[in-house]
Amino acid sequence: HRVDSRTIYVGHRPSTTEAFIPPKFCDNRIVSSKYTVWNFLPKNLFEQFRRIANFYFLIIFLVQVIVDTPTSPVTSGLPLFFVITVTAIKQGYEDWLRHKADNEVNKYPVTVLENGRRMGTESEKIKVGDVVEVNEDETFPCDLILLQSTRDDDTCFVTTASLDGESNHKTHYTVPDTEKDLDSLSATIECEQPQPDLYKFVGRMHIYKTDREPEIRSLGPENLLLKGATLKNTQRICGVAVYTGMETKMALNYQGKSQKRSAVEKSINAFLLVYLCILVSKALVCTTLKYVWQSKPGQDEPWYNQKTQREKETNLYLKMFTDFLSFMVLFNFIIPVSMYVTVEMQKFLGSFFITWDRDFYDPEIQEGALVNTSDLNEELGQVEYVFTDKTGTLTQNNMEFIECCIDGFQYKYRDAVSELDGFSATDGPVSKLQEKAGKEREELFLRALCLCHTVQVKEPTGRGQDHTDSMAGVDGMEGCPPPHEQTGFIASSPDEVALVKGAMRYGFTFLGMESKKMKIMNRSNAIETYDLLHVLNFDPVRRRMSVIVRSKSGDALLFCKGADSSIFPRVRQEEVEKIRVHVERNATEGYRTLCVAYKKLSPEEYARADADLQAARLALQDREEKLIAVYNQVEAGMTLIGATAVEDRLQEEAAETMEALQGAGIKVWVLTGDKMETAKSTCYACRLFQRGTELLELTVRTLEDGVRKREERLHDLLLEYHKKAVQDVPPTKPGGSRGWSKPSQDFGFIIDGASLSMVFNSSESSSSHYKNLFLQICQNCTTVLCCRMAPLQKAQIVKMVKCSKGSPITLSIGDGANDVSMILEAHVGIGIKGKEGRQAVRNSDYAIPKLKHLKKLLLGHGHLYYVRIAHLVQYFFYKNLCFILPQFLYQFFCGYSQQPLYDAAYLTMYNICFTSMPILAYSLLEQHICVEVLLDNATLYRSIAKNAMLRWVPFLYWTLLGVFHGLLFFFGVRFLFGNPALQANGQVFGNWSYGTIVFTVLVFTVTFKLALDTRHWTWINHFVIWGSLCFYVIFSFFWGGIIWPFLKQQRLYYVFAHMLSSASAWLVIVLLILLSLLPDILLVVLRKPLGPRARQVGYITLLNYHVPFCIHGDL
């Protein structure tokens, strides 16, 4: 059993009386590498052969080594060896890089304070309990508890850019009231066991003093400096190591995410199974027929072909078994190793095109798209549901203070009018003209805005400029915008900055914080200072935050701001109504509203609150819950002062993007934590809801009609909506998988978090029923809006859709930490490199700078990648089927003796050299339709929906094509060989000539088939296609031109040259190639009237000639 907490002796000094047993912790070595020099080979091989495909090829290879098989082990061993080696080298190189990086970190010089002396040592030697010194701009070598800082206010600044990408400075605090002299500090730290959450830490520090009772201090995340973060704006700090090495939060966070598999991969596996069945049945048929054939007298062992002694002695059943294995080996090329290699390469290389795309480059953040996984490229072309966050995704998260309302009077800031006090009352519909709230209330409200936040003033950097001067000048210069507007504020949430800036416009400027004192400059340019006593942090459950400050006059004041729903119940009700109208009006206009309340705490009240907060903060267990309980208790009985409205502008081209997605047949669901009204107006603005859209609401408001219980009402509403949206809608045309024509009536569905949890958590029996109804309604709506969602609920919704019938492909897009759960849950997770840190980006599969890039990512890249890889997969199976089928047929003519038709070199090289490059080039470069056209015609996306190119019908088409080609190649040459005297000098051809002719036809046909499918011929395609054919010819001459000393048999000696000297061979080769391609050319012509979209639809509706529309081929 693991202990829940660990005890650390600061500086390894035993505390007082207890016997000092130095506890064992792991050292500070970071090991991100997987292998060592010694275990690389076995471990890597083991891991590689755990892949089912590699294992299969290993088995084939072993069979070839052990059993006397028709082809030498080299034919399958060489490709396997190649694949394994390349993978091993790649992984080895990556591991070597990791070793190097580890070493750099582990050998980093650090300073450890040991009994008053400063000792230089290496990072990896740090032990838990060591006191470590860190200088400015250095990264912390392990997780430290901050003990001492050179700054006066016992803080230090840190950036966590390398951990979560947030580059703002974060303030961390020393443990309060610790000894300034670290040498004499005798303390223990009790803290939880290492856990990966970067933002959670609970601990307790016992400080022992010789003459007093031990003091206890609570430790939280604000005291913990994380390994990997960098010290900023602080000369030097000292801290005690609490977590080291692999137990640091950074290391715990590097454990990989679970891998996502794409739908294409599932298709490949299904096809693989089919081909495996074909392979086994081929081998079975051949084995059976062999023994039937041999039972005829004189066939098994004619006088000219005696068996060896060993063969005669072998047991019959064993012989049958080895024969079966031999056939398996002979036909095993039907499942090629190279397909896996090519698919991997295509995915890996293909993902670069996303990173390279300049359309994804955003000049503002100076970054392009980021690909975290290349496995899902083609999944981007298959998306059916998009789940999008609102704030920061649909909207810019670039907040601008629009207006506020104080005591029911509306104040709107007008940029154009520069009144001295910055205030102007507008003649809005609600406020009365020129009426203002009392000055006292105004100022209280503005003070609240200035104080109730966690904003930092950005420290002047080394450049200095005229900042210090202007600080001095502030007092003198009136009316001038204070320097901070340029300097800027840093905050975790842009709302807060907008509010502080808004207050600044009205004359109250937040100047910053110095040693727990907040300074604000009021309208008369006097500086007021407040002691910051407590910050009751924001959390998404409470949806509010508060500060407790002490003013100069000694009053303890609590300022609280938060969502209306979380503030209104906590203030005196008579004030609410005046403000509610404003809040609701603002919300419908799409603004984010916050309510501000305050409360004066009497000294007794404050003392109790202070004690409770301290106690809760010290708690080691359930600290969160205890804190929230105290917060709720403190934030009660407040007075409402006013409300603010902050505009969050829509992202660039948000509406166009959403429209394109809907045009592509993708259903867009908006999942937001925001209020319904705000979210709804955003949806209208994004054209997700249109004027004609009928909205079906399932929210707390519609549920409460006062008469019946909520549950009953829920039941009724669900049934009613279901009838409306599902039953009464005429069924879409049969056949059209997703319905090409838009339904006559658009429905939009709105649900909020509370109702959703009712749907999910209602009583056992009805829960699944409700869920079903809910899902069906949602699926019939064009847009679904879920507001007031907790992060977990977002993931729940994604999961529900993901697991629904037909398992549609889902995509989540978001920018904030609250979207991480849904990003991880969805098939494809997309992070926006927005303002709310980098957590979403880190957990996403793809990251893009802006929402508008989603359009090209899906409609452009996704579509192309899907078509490319689908074609790649189908083509690979096809080309190996028509490669092996002649070999199978040949068995009927060679006494089922497993005689290979092709030479071993051809067997080996076919997939590696002769036919691999063209398809790779195709699968990287093909643009069957220009990207511009794809983007213009979003409906094209529907044509590849539901894995259209990898379903059984196209698979059957390709398989039949392969069979047709295989039959044609074999029997065409078979009839030619009715008279093997094919040369003009009467000489005859043998079996290797037979195989070579078939192989030549094969290589040319499959290459031409690909050429026929290529719609986008760049020079690379030309080079690779013609180059492969040339290489084949040159190789064949070369291979047949020399007596190879290492070969046992010179089977192909001058076979190719003789073939070319025969006119009949030329004629048959031309004939067969042409005949093979005839059906394809024919299909292309027949498909032509379908227009440019023909190629994708074509595979499904092969001979579907009667399509009643045509599209201008404006390619």
Partner 1 sequence: MMASGYNAKEEDGHHSGAPGNGGAGAVKSKKPDNTAFKQQRLPAWQPILTAGTVLPAFFVIGLIFIPIGIGLFVTSNNIKEFEIDYTGIEASSPCYNCAQNYSWNSTSSCTCKVPFTLEQPFESNVFMYYGLSNFYQNHRRYVKSRDDSQLNGDLTSLKSPSKECDPYRTSDGLPIAPCGAIANSLFNDTLELYHLSNGTRTAVVLMKKGIAWWTDKNVKFRNPGGNANLTVAFQGTSKPVNWRTPVFELDPNDPDNNGFINEDFIVWMRTAALPTFRKLYRIIQKKVDAPTLASGKYELEVSYNYPVRSFDGRKRVILSTISWMGGKNPFLGIAYITVGSVCFFLAVVLLIIHHKYDNRCSSADIPN
Judged by CB under 8 A, which of 792, 960, 1067, 1103 binds partner 1? 1067
Reference 645, options 597, 590, 565; nearest CA is: 590
Q: Under the criterion CB under 8 A, does residue 345 sit at the interface with partner 1?
A: no
Q: How far is the CB of 1009 from partner 1 (least distance, A)?
A: 13
Q: Under the criterion CB under 8 A, does residue 485 sit at the interface with partner 1?
A: no
Token duo for residue 878 = 């096809």
Q: Which is nearer to partner 1, 300 or 610 (CB)?
A: 300
Q: How far is the CB of 380 from partner 1 (least distance, A)?
A: 15
Of the ranges 126-134, 275-283, 436-444, 1086-1094, which one interacts with partner 1 (CB under 8 A)? 1086-1094
391 is in an annotated binding site: yes
Type of residue numbered 997 = I
Q: Under the criterion CB under 8 A, does residue 255 sit at the interface with partner 1?
A: no
Q: How far is the CB of 327 from partner 1 (least distance, A)?
A: 11
Query: Contacts from 754-760 at CB under 8 Å and sequence distance 24+?
Result: 754/699, 754/700, 754/788, 755/698, 755/699, 755/700, 755/703, 755/714, 756/786, 756/789, 756/793, 756/796, 756/797, 757/793, 758/703, 758/710, 758/711, 758/714, 759/698, 759/714, 759/718, 760/796
Q: How far is the CB of 313 from partner 1 (least distance, A)?
A: 12
Cα–Cα distances (Å) from 716 to 72, 705, 723, 726, 746, in that order, read: 73, 12, 11, 15, 21
Q: Which is nearer to partner 1, 38 or 303 (CB)?
A: 303
Catalytic residue among 389, 564, 845, 903: 389
Binders in 351-370 for partner 1, by CB under 8 A: 352-353, 355-361, 366-368
Binders in 998-1057 for partner 1, by CB under 8 A: 1012, 1015-1021, 1043, 1047-1050, 1053-1054, 1057
Binders in 878-897 for partner 1, by CB under 8 A: 893-895, 897
Of the ranges 20-28, 428-436, 502-510, 982-990, which one interacts with partner 1 (CB under 8 A)? 982-990
**Three-class DSSP category at 389:** coil
Q: Under the criterion CB under 8 A, does residue 40 sit at the interface with partner 1?
A: no
Q: Is residue 752 flagged as an active site residue? A: no
203 phi/psi in degrees, rounded to 5 = -160, 175
Q: Under the criterion CB under 8 A, does residue 964 sit at the interface with partner 1?
A: no
Q: Under the criterion CB under 8 A, does residue 687 sit at the interface with partner 1?
A: no
673 is in an annotated binding site: yes
Distance from C-alpha of 814 to C-alpha of 387, rounded to nearest angstrom: 8
Distance from C-alpha of 290 to C-alpha of 295, rounded to nearest angstrom: 9
Q: Under the criterion CB under 8 A, does residue 697 sit at the interface with partner 1?
A: no
724 is in an annotated binding site: no
Count other Cβ atoms within 10 Å, centred on residue 208.
18
Binders in 48-77 for partner 1, by CB under 8 A: 70
Judged by CB under 8 A, which of 233, 766, 991, 1101 binds partner 1? 991
Distance from C-alpha of 1001 to C-alpha of 1024, rounded to nearest angstrom: 18
Q: Which is nearer to partner 1, 66 or 1082 (CB)?
A: 1082
794 is in an annotated binding site: yes
Judged by CB under 8 A, which of 304, 318, 364, 429 binds partner 1? 304
Torsion, Cα 1016 1018 1022 1028, to 10 degrees, reads: -90
Q: Which is nearer to partner 1, 807 or 979 (CB)?
A: 979
Distance from C-alpha of 154 to C-alpha of 150, rounded to nearest angstrom: 7
Q: Which is nearer to partner 1, 360 or 385 (CB)?
A: 360
Distance from C-alpha of 816 to C-alpha of 840, rounded to nearest angstrom: 5
Question: Do 970 and 885 touch, CB atoms closer than 8 A?
Answer: yes
Judged by CB under 8 A, which of 404, 405, 982, 1010 binds partner 1? 982
466 is in an annotated binding site: no
Q: Under the criterion CB under 8 A, does residue 1082 sit at the interface with partner 1?
A: yes
Of the ranges 104-112, 140-148, 524-532, 987-995, which one interacts with partner 1 (CB under 8 A)? 987-995
Q: If 0-12 CB within 10 Å is exposed, 13-18 middle and 19+ buried, where does residue 58 land?
A: middle
Judged by CB under 8 A, which of 14, 220, 428, 1091 binds partner 1? 1091
The residues, ordered by sequence, that sit 6+ positions from 1039 with a Cβ below 8 Å of its Cβ are 903, 905, 1052, 1056
Of the ranges 123-131, 272-280, 542-550, 1083-1091, which one interacts with partner 1 (CB under 8 A)? 1083-1091
**Three-class DSSP category at 1036:** helix
Of the ranges 94-102, 242-250, 348-356, 405-413, which one interacts with partner 1 (CB under 8 A)? 348-356
Token duo for residue 879 = 């080309």
Site map 657..676 versus partner 1, x via CB under 8 A = --xx--x-------------
Of the ranges 136-144, 332-340, 622-630, 652-660, which one interacts with partner 1 (CB under 8 A)? 652-660
496 is in an annotated binding site: yes
Judged by CB under 8 A, which of 36, 184, 299, 761 binds partner 1? 299
Q: Under the criterion CB under 8 A, does residue 341 sit at the interface with partner 1?
A: no
Q: What angle do CA 465, 469, 474 make, to 5 degrees?
A: 125
Q: Which is nearer to partner 1, 259 or 308 (CB)?
A: 308
Query: 3-class secondary structure for 812-846?
Result: EEECCHHHHHHHHHCCEEEEECCCCCCHHHHHCCE
Judged by CB under 8 A, which of 108, 975, 1023, 1038 binds partner 1? 975
Type of residue numbered 672 = T
Q: Under the criterion CB under 8 A, does residue 305 sit at the interface with partner 1?
A: yes
Question: Do 1099 and 957 touch, CB atoms closer than 8 A?
Answer: yes
Q: Under the criterion CB under 8 A, does residue 462 sit at the interface with partner 1?
A: no
1005 is in an annotated binding site: no
Element housing 539 (H / E): strand 527-539
818 is in an annotated binding site: yes
Reference 884, options 992, 995, 975, 989; nearest CA is: 995
Of the ranges 347-355, 408-416, 625-633, 833-841, which one interacts with partner 1 (CB under 8 A)? 347-355
Q: How far is the CB of 321 from partner 1 (least distance, A)?
A: 17
Cα–Cα distances (Å) from 643 to 389, 401, 444, 579, 595, in that order, read: 24, 11, 13, 7, 4
Q: Which is nearer to partner 1, 937 or 1000 (CB)?
A: 937
Q: Under the criterion CB under 8 A, does residue 993 sit at the interface with partner 1?
A: yes
The residues, ordered by sequence, that sit 6+ positions from 377 with a Cβ below 8 Å of its Cβ are 347, 350, 351, 354, 861, 862, 865, 869
Of the ranges 606-614, 665-673, 740-748, 1075-1083, which one interacts with partner 1 (CB under 8 A)? 1075-1083
Binders in 891-950 for partner 1, by CB under 8 A: 893-895, 897-899, 925, 927, 931-932, 935-939
Q: What angle do CA 1069, 1075, 1080 make, to 5 degrees?
A: 130
Question: Do 1096 and 866 touch, CB atoms closer than 8 A?
Answer: no
Reference 380, options 389, 369, 391; nearest CA is: 369
Q: Under the criterion CB under 8 A, does residue 2 sit at the interface with partner 1?
A: no
Q: Which is nearer to partner 1, 307 or 769 (CB)?
A: 307
626 is in an annotated binding site: no
Q: How far is the CB of 1048 from partner 1 (least distance, A)?
A: 6
Distance from C-alpha of 800 to C-alpha of 782, rounded to nearest angstrom: 17
819 is in an annotated binding site: yes
CA atoms within 13 A on the CB side of 703: 19
Binders in 851-870 for partner 1, by CB under 8 A: 855
Task: State the first-to-last Cα distance of the chain, in angstroms, to the nearest integer.
Answer: 68
**Three-class DSSP category at 164:** helix
Q: Under the criterion CB under 8 A, does residue 972 sit at the interface with partner 1?
A: yes
Binding-site residue ranges for ATP: 389-391, 496, 538, 561, 592, 672-674, 788, 794, 818-819
By annotation, the residues acting in catalysis are 389
Binding-site residue ranges: 389-391, 496, 538, 561, 592, 672-674, 788, 794, 815, 818-819
